Amino acid sequence: MAWNDVINETYINTGVHGEMFVVDLFEVHTSIIEDLHRKGKRVICYFSAGTKEHRRPDYLDFPSDGLGLPNEDRPGDTWVDIKNSQVRRIMRDRFEYAQSRHCDGVCPDNVDGWVENQAGLYLTPDDQLDYNRYLAIEAHGYGLAIGLKNDVSQLDDLVGDFDFAINESCMDFDDCNRYKPFFDAIKPVFHIQYVNSTTEGHRKQEEICSSSKRPHDMNTLIKHGMVNWKIGC
């Protein structure tokens, strides 16, 4: 299945290739979702489930006792305590909002705060499994498909809970083949491989698509920074 990730893009061309589009839950205009659906495309709505993002309308709803360290990859954002009941209520409300926006599914990001204690909350692998399964149960309760983004170390445990997976840069870490549980379960795996420029993307397309690091079942999108280069594998 061809796909497209248009998070952070100011102009979304709904006519480009892709049967599935990943859009921002809060920032995408309703007309874009409607246009994608008219063209027979599935709409997956993205948000962070592991951090408090300063630009979100529910930013002030996060409890002060449910916060961890700043997210080094996103200035202004903070990791959240996934065991906190209010944090979980906020996520449940986001699923309800996604349903109201007619999203076909959701892609919660930053669901691996336990790795190397990056959240600063001393989360355990079991804490993360419990939270990720909570997200899957809630999403399904609202009739939404849900994708597991990254959290590569827990793929074996979560393949039964999630409908598809999204990975960033697995070729850089030799992690692509770890998605075998999803391939075996005949569940799609969508992969973003970042390049430094569109010129590099054109030059490396054949190398990326034919690499033994990338299973042939993987749906790869080649991307320059936050802007898609609209060709994949």
pLDDT at 230 (0 to 100): 55
Q: Is the pLDDT of residue 102 over 60?
A: yes
Mean per-residue pLDDT for 160-164?
98
Domain count, the chain: 1
The answer to whether residue 50 is domain-embedded is: yes
Mean per-residue pLDDT for 79-106?
98
The answer to whether residue 157 is domain-embedded is: yes
pLDDT at 200 (0 to 100): 77
Q: Is the pLDDT of residue 226 over 70?
A: no
pLDDT tens profile 104-121: 999 999 999 999 999 999
| Average pLDDT over the chain, rounded to an integer | 93
pLDDT tens profile 165-190: 999 999 999 999 999 999 999 999 99
Q: What would the 3-class secondary structure string for the chain be?
A: CCEEECCCCCCCCCCCCCCEEEEECCCCCHHHHHHHHHCCCEEEEEEECCEECCCCCCHHHCCHHHEEEECCCCCCCEEECCCCHHHHHHHHHHHHHHHHCCCCEEEEECCCCCHHHCCCCCCCHHHHHHHHHHHHHHHHHCCCEEEEECCHHHHHHHCCCCCEEEEECHHHHCCHHHHHHHHHCCCCEEEEEEECCHHHHHHHHHHHHHCCCCCCCCEEEEEECCEEEEEEC
The answer to whether residue 4 is domain-embedded is: no
The answer to whether residue 1 is domain-embedded is: no
Sorting pLDDT into bands at 50, 70 and 90, what band is 153?
A: very high
The answer to whether residue 53 is domain-embedded is: yes
CATH code at 47?
Answer: 3.20.20.70
pLDDT above 90: percentage of residues in the chain: 82
The answer to whether residue 119 is domain-embedded is: yes
pLDDT tens profile 24-82: 999 999 999 999 999 999 999 999 999 999 999 999 999 999 999 999 988 999 999 99
The answer to whether residue 80 is domain-embedded is: yes
Range of the domain at 80: 14-19+28-232
The answer to whether residue 105 is domain-embedded is: yes
